[in-house]
Structure 1
Amino acid sequence: MAARFSDNGVYGTPTDAAVVSAGTGLSVTIRAGVEGSLRGHAWTSGATAVTLPVTANSSGQTRIDRVVLRLDRSAWTVRAAVKQGTPGAGVPALSQSTGDTGTYEIPLAEVTLLSGAGTVTVTRKELYVGTRVRPCTSSTRNPLPVPGEINFETDTGRAVQWTGSSWRSVFDDSGVINVNAPTAAWSNEVDCVLEKRNGNVHLRLGAFKRAGGTLADDIESRLPAIIPAAYRHPTRDQYGLAYITGVNIGRFIVYSNASTRAGQVWLVNKPTISSGDSVLPMSGLSWVVD
């Protein structure tokens, strides 16, 4: 019943000091003050460091042992142990019996022992207890999250993960959003739409027709689309090309939230455009927003 009360592993993150380090000679040391959980059974390394012996290797080949955290159901104890490997055969397999008999192991480290060596090399392999996905709303995220924690916002449908310094989107889907913004000078012949997926905005500008008078080649003009604030890049403008009636090419800018033209789309480099001419922007601009 308790096996899923907590994920299997030690408590902490990879930024903590190693749980296992090389000891003196043929031994490894388990750091003091480490706690963990294995199939619902608590474990602590204790108040002082623990030394575990490593069997000598005179085989003529390199041997790799594992340091494991082991639940032994014959005595219902959880202990750190060295699981000896076979020379030349790589890392020994973990035992993970899930019934009410046998052993269940998770990795803490790998120990490399050259043939005839009097010392060992330890490589970190700790398995850390994870964090569960926490339901919340966009205004009730955990105020004191731990690195790796994921919150699912029931009001937005977003899943966000705490990096240790900020929340980042793991999953979100805005659906299709129409961003037409008609002006007297331009008409929307094909809708402009965007979608936000997993922190990225994907924009497809439609087709525009000049409804006003002739637009001189040295005059910039705002096209009939605007990006809502939540979907603008915070600092970087986006650039694209457009086909213009008469086998001509123009350039447009989608302005960032930091611009005085925030969210607006402007045609900035182009030939003279006559009334009734079409502007067909390239599709597929995208940028990161969170």
Structure 2
Amino acid sequence: MSAQGSTTRGSYLSERSFPFDGSVGYLSDEDWSQLARIWQEDGVIAATHGGTELKVKSGSVPDEIIVSAGRAHIRGFYYVNDADLGLVLNLNTGTSARYDLVVLRLDVSLNTVTAVIKEGVPGSPEPVLTQNESVFEIPLARLTVPANSAPVSTFVDRRQFIGRRIQVTDNGWYLAPGNIYYQPVSGRFYMNDGVGNGQPIARVSDTRVHFCTSTTRPNDLADGQLIYETDTGNMLVFRFGAFQLVNGKPPMAVLRHSIEQGAAANVGAIVSWDTEDVDNVSGHTPIGSANSKYTVQRAGWYRVTINASCSPVSGGYRQLAVRRNGNMNGNVIAQAFPTSSTVVPLSASGLMKLAVGDYLDVEFFHTGSGVCNLYGGAATRFEIEWVSPLV
């Protein structure tokens, strides 16, 4: 080790500094550990996220486990395993399962770092790691060793990966979990979230408004950042993983269906809407099986209106209901009780309290005879209009 310097005041050694060449004395194991442990936290050195460095796996026989090749840093000391390392496991002859730990053990008195199996007690929790200035252990895996000398049944990965300096890269998906990288193309910092994705790190100075369209919204903003949609005139804030309208046009939609739709007696039928006269915040899609739903993009009080005409059937009543999230309670309902078999108009309007992500649809129900049809075209309309914020 490199030599160290010291300063005495009176009869006491009060100051030390190291390492320096040419001074009296040598750097001790403890001195080196105290110095080098601040350079890096303890853990396995992984080249990529999900790497196999020092990963524990089963061996070729029941009483063997394998520690894969790899490197680690522990209390300032460097550990290297150049090839698969076999460790002998004591099979469990008891009647309850046993939990063992595979650890890297630093033993300062022996000047070694080695991979060992720290055996537990059948029927008890896993053993406690030893972590003091003489012996220090970090975990690699937890083993479930079944009773009656059965082979290991479960390997739980307990490796702790060390971080790295901030990387400069266009895409940091390959980094170990928690690593931070700088992306030159965007001028932003990201963190690898452990599943191969880069999560943006909030930047206090980034208060600019991002210009885009409703179909090209950025997907890497931090909470509180704003976008302006040039095609809709809407300004939205990114919050809790979603965009919420700040100002701009109040949401409004007028939906229709081009042809008539039928419903058998006593069976609720969900009305489809394949035509949009207007939908200024894209709450509805006229294509596919989801065209019955209007999804709320801005929280508030909405006025919803339903107008329809249904074909003649004898007896019973006719009903249209605007539902929130598929629930009939407290919603806008239109009912008619015709006295003869005639065309029946249905109309209702009312206010509904809606949150972002709520959806609206319309159910048609009748108790007459046969099939009753809702006429298409202009005869059947569903209107949604935002009128006030939540109060």
Contact 1:18 1:124 in 2 (8 A): no
Q: Match of 2:242, as an amino acid?
A: N
Q: Match of 1:26, as an amino acid?
A: D
Structure 1 residue 37 displacement after superposition: 1.6
If you compute each CA radius of gyration, which structure gives the higher value, 1 or 2?
A: 2
Contact 2:173 2:198 in 1 (8 A): no
1:40 maps to what in 2? 76
Structure 1 residue 10 displacement after superposition: 1.9
- Structure 2 residue 109 is matched with structure 1 residue 68: no
SS state of the match for residue 117, structure 1?
Answer: coil
Contact 1:135 1:151 in 2 (8 A): yes
Change (3 A) 1:239 1:205: farther
SS state of the match for residue 108, structure 1?
Answer: strand
Change (3 A) 1:164 1:119: closer
CA root-mean-square deviation: 4.7
2:43 maps to what in 1? 9
Change (3 A) 1:83 1:161: closer
Relative contact order higher in (CA < 8 Å, ≥ 6 apart): 1
Structure 1 residue 52 displacement after superposition: 1.9
Deviations 1:16-73 (A, max 9, x none): 3872223324232222x322221222112223x3222223544443322211111112
Alignment of 1:157-196 (within 5 A): 159-161=190-192, 167-169=198-200, 171=202, 172-173=221-222, 175=224, 177=226, 194-196=236-238
**How far apart, CA to CA, are the structure 1 residues paired with 2:64 and 2:199?**
42
**How far apart, CA to CA, are the structure 2 residues paired with 1:219 and 1:87?**
68
TM-score (norm 2): 0.45
Q: How many residues align?
A: 229
SS state of the match for residue 10, structure 1?
Answer: strand
Q: Say which of 128, 134, 158 aligns to 1:102.
A: 134
Structure 1 residue 79 displacement after superposition: 0.8
Identity of aligned residues (%): 21
Change (3 A) 1:69 1:194: same
2:63 maps to what in 1? 26
Q: What stretches of structure 1 move > 4 A for 4+ residues in a row?
A: 140-145, 152-160, 162-166, 176-181, 204-210, 244-250
Q: Say which of 61, 84, 88 aligns to 2:123.
A: 88
User: Unaligned stretches of 5+ in structure 2?
Assistant: 1-34, 203-220, 257-274, 283-292, 306-347, 353-380
Structure 1 residue 142 displacement after superposition: 6.5
User: Unaligned stretches of 5+ in structure 1?
Assistant: 227-236, 251-267, 272-277, 284-290
